[in-house]
């Protein structure tokens, strides 16, 4: 809730994009640093510290990476939601064990990841100058493939994060599940496949959002002529 309050306040301020991004970086960094210090004082597992540090790195290199490496200035709302998602998905979700406490948390997170990947990459791959020389169908097809691939990349990241942090995000340490009569399909495999399916569904919904947004823009442009 505090994050969306911060967004609404910053959006209303008379600041340019760079200052808005800097403000949100400071807010998220302060949150992660404060919780990191508190966690160390009360003796929380060092594996949680890993997630705090990962969150800090993402928050502070995300915008510079897109601007300098990819030559793209993402819109402020996209940057804010991406960073909020990163902080929630890395530190907050693991610190408070939300992945195991709330069944729907992991499903919602991966579904939203598909949407965010599509919306973010759309701005990277198809800047304003590209919209006039590429068809909407082509853009949506490419971005859908990118979003589906992103769901798989996410699982690779989870795999290595479990190795580094000692956590069990992929649920490989839980008891085996019997799916379609096959006991060899353990809970880790089930979790991975569910995540990929949810991410893929989110990517398709993201494409639908872009389709509607493009169609609405065309209608608006015609009405302004």
8-17, 29-38, 52-61, 178-187: least confidently modelled range: 178-187
Q: pLDDT averaged over the chain?
A: 85
Helix (H, G, I), strand (E, B) or coil at 179: strand
Given a cut of 80, whether residue 176 has pLDDT beyond it is no
11-20, 48-57, 69-78: least confidently modelled range: 11-20
Domain limits of the chain? 1-96, 103-225
Q: What is the pLDDT, as a whole number, of residue 121?
A: 95
Among 66, 98, 95, residue whose Cα is nearest residue 82: 66
- Report how far Cα 66 is from the mean position of its chain's Cα atoms: 15
Q: How far apart are CA 58 and CA 195, in angstroms?
A: 21
pTM: 0.83
Q: Take residue 122 and report the two structure tokens written for it.
A: 């759309």
Q: What is the pLDDT, as a whole number, of residue 183?
A: 46
Question: Which residues lie below 8 Å from residue 66, measured CB to CB, with a gap of 6+?
Answer: 72, 73, 74, 124
> For the CA atoms of 88, 94, 98, 101, what is the dihedral angle to 10 degrees?
180
Question: Which residues lie below 8 Å from residue 189, measured CB to CB, with a gap of 6+?
Answer: none
Q: What is the pLDDT, as a whole number, of residue 200?
A: 95
Report pLDDT digits (tens) over 180-199.
444 444 566 777 888 899 99
Among 168, 217, 149, 140, residue whose Cα is nearest residue 45: 168
Q: What is the pLDDT, as a whole number, of residue 155?
A: 85
Q: What is the pLDDT, as a whole number, of residue 180?
A: 47
Q: Which residue has the higher pLDDT, 78 or 168?
A: 78
Report pLDDT digits (tens) over 81-126.
999 999 998 899 889 988 778 878 888 999 999 999 999 999 999 9
Q: Sorting pLDDT into bands at 50, 70 and 90, what band is 224?
A: low
Given a cut of 50, whether residue 217 has pLDDT beyond it is yes
């Amino acid at each position: 809730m505090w994050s969306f309050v911060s967004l609404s306040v910053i959006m209303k301020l008379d600041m340019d994009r760079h200052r808005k991004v800097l403000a949100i970086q400071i807010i998220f960094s302060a949150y992660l640093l404060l919780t990191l210090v508190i966690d160390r004082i009360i003796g929380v597992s060092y594996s949680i510290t890993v997630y705090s540090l990962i969150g800090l790195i993402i928050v502070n290199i995300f915008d510079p990476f897109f601007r300098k490496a990819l030559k793209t200035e993402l819109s402020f709302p996209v940057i804010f939601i991406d960073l909020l998602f990163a902080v929630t998905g890395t530190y907050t979700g693991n610190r408070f064990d939300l992945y195991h406490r709330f069944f729907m948390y992991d499903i919602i997170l991966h579904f939203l990841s598909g949407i965010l990947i599509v919306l973010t990459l759309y701005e990277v791959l198809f800047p304003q100058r590209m919209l006039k020389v590429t068809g909407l169908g082509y853009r949506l097809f490419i971005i859908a493939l990118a979003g589906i691939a992103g769901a798989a990349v996410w699982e690779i990241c989870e795999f290595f994060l479990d190795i580094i942090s000692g956590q069990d995000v992929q649920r490989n340490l839980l008891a085996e599940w019997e799916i379609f009569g096959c006991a060899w399909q353990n809970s880790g495999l089930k979790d991975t496949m569910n995540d990929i399916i949810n991410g893929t569904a989110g990517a398709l919904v993201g494409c639908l959002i872009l389709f509607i947004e493009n169609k609405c823009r065309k209608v608006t442009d015609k009405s302004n002529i």
